[in-house]
A and B are shown apart, each in its own frame.
Chain A
């Protein structure tokens, strides 16, 4: 199985500041079709997860452009610019190069 490892945030994050969440995979997620099979989800308190970004950097429908995904191979970053109250929750990365596995989650708290 591909193991996904997420970093922690220096919480709380001041409102209006940017935040970067890191994710590392145990195997390169770059497919032979040149796409990177990496998603990001947000689970707000008391809610179900929602898809934010797929294929490394493509925002899902309706997702704010304050969210951006980047990285390559085995190292990835989700950047949230100008953090707002609605961004609070736990962020998960997920690979889908093989059967899906998720990172352990990174909690974002607002100051």
Chain B
């Protein structure tokens, strides 16, 4: 099946700094990608829909100025957590739908720890 990669796989940063997470579709093009956040022992919560060439669509309660999303090409979406705080520590996962939209391919996730 198709592969979605994320980089980095884990990151530790100081409070107040910004962190960029990359999501790449390795062998297919994705005009749409999704960003999820997962806190320990909880389910995945959709944060936003990343659209190639246009603005991202954020879910209710997600601050668009804090979680900046850029989808500059058909294979790359980036999520930047700006001015990170300890409460932003979480597992961030991206996904991209298959061409026929029968399934979604998920990245391996990025573990963010803010000290």
Please determine whether chains A and B interact with each other in the same assembly. Answer: no
Residues of A within 8 A of B (CB): none
